[in-house]
Amino acid sequence: MRLDYITIFPDWFAPLSLSLPGRAIESGLLSIAVHDLRDWTHDRHRTVDDTPYGGGAGMVLKPEPWGEALDAVLASSDAATLVVPTPSGRPFTQALARELATREHLVWACGRYEGIDQRVLDHAAGRPDVVEVVEVSLGDYVLNGGEVAALAITEAVVRLLPGFMGNAASLVEESHEDGLLEYPVYTKPASWRGLDVPDVLRSGDHARIAAWRHRQQVERTAARRPDLLPASQARHEWEVVPAV
């Protein structure tokens, strides 16, 4: 997968060279380029922002550098998806992560200040043969810039790529993969500060362990995120899972 980030803070993406993404770059699974938006400015001050039409607080990222940046990055791509982090975007979910993980080339437009001039997104959206535009929100809150959102979304996406995780099996049982939160996990020692690991997990009975874990998933999801659990599914799960 190819990843291009356009930002006014290129240093923000240094962590991508660490840990698993770093290894994926070395192995050729990921190819990453970080571009400074200011490289597409033409004035002495390398200006990327201006005051908003209509008045109001803050500054808006100017369309011209974005237009040139996207022209340059998209010129060498057959099938790019432009990911635009914004609080007005489609809420980011595991399902969207899975969708983005199928793309070959993700280009990230990281906003700052009051955001990017709307015409940049409208222009890109008007060229569906060149690029698909996906506006994504990390959540119902406001960050200072798109970089943190781009990093978080990137991490959720690239770990789904075949070959990215050392042990692909660990992906299967994670929260949100089957619509439920994950069951609680424990490791050694069996007793710690007066708290014991549930006996069933030390029983060696794989069927009982699976049933216990599933019940924990359903209980935890019902308690913490009932919105994830349609009533019909909840009824069904409780009926089929035997008590342990």
Q: E strands within 148-194?
A: 191-192
Give the residue closest to ligand SAM by C-beta. 111
Shortest distance, CB of residue 86 to ligand SAM, whole angstroms?
Answer: 5
Q: Cα separation of 113 and 50, whole Å?
A: 10
Tell me the sheet residues that pair with 85.
136
Rank residues 149 and 218 by Cβ distance to ligand SAM and give the closer one. 149
Rank residues 22 and 63 by Cβ distance to ligand SAM and give the closer one. 63
Shortest distance, CB of residue 66 to ligand SAM, whole angstroms?
Answer: 12
Contact string (CB under 6 A) for ligand SAM, positions 66-85, x = contact: -------------------x
Ranges within 82-111 binding ligand SAM (CB under 6 A): 85-88, 110-111
Contacts of 107 (CB under 8 A, 6+ apart): 4, 5, 6, 70, 73, 74, 77, 80, 81, 82, 83, 131
Task: Rule CB under 6 A: say whether 112 interacts with ligand SAM.
Answer: yes
Rank residues 22 and 89 by Cβ distance to ligand SAM and give the closer one. 89
Count, residues near ligand SAM per rule CB under 6 A: 19
Rank residues 38 and 220 by Cβ distance to ligand SAM and give the closer one. 38
Ranges within 129-158 binding ligand SAM (CB under 6 A): 137-139, 141-146, 149
Q: Cα separation of 26 and 39, whole Å?
A: 27
Q: Cα separation of 74 and 150, whole Å?
A: 18
Task: Rule CB under 6 A: say whether 114 interacts with ligand SAM.
Answer: yes
Shortest distance, CB of residue 120 to ligand SAM, whole angstroms?
Answer: 11
Shortest distance, CB of residue 162 to ligand SAM, whole angstroms?
Answer: 27
Per 3-state DSSP, the chain is made up of helix, strand and coil in percentages (nearest 5) of 40, 20, 40
Q: Cα separation of 38 and 48, whole Å?
A: 7
H/E stretch holding 85: strand 80-91
Rank residues 89 and 179 by Cβ distance to ligand SAM and give the closer one. 89
Extract long-range pairs of 46-53: CB within 8 Å, 24+ residues apart.
Answer: 48/8, 49/112, 49/113, 52/114
Contact residues for ligand SAM, defined by CB under 6 A: 85-88, 110-112, 114-115, 137-139, 141-146, 149
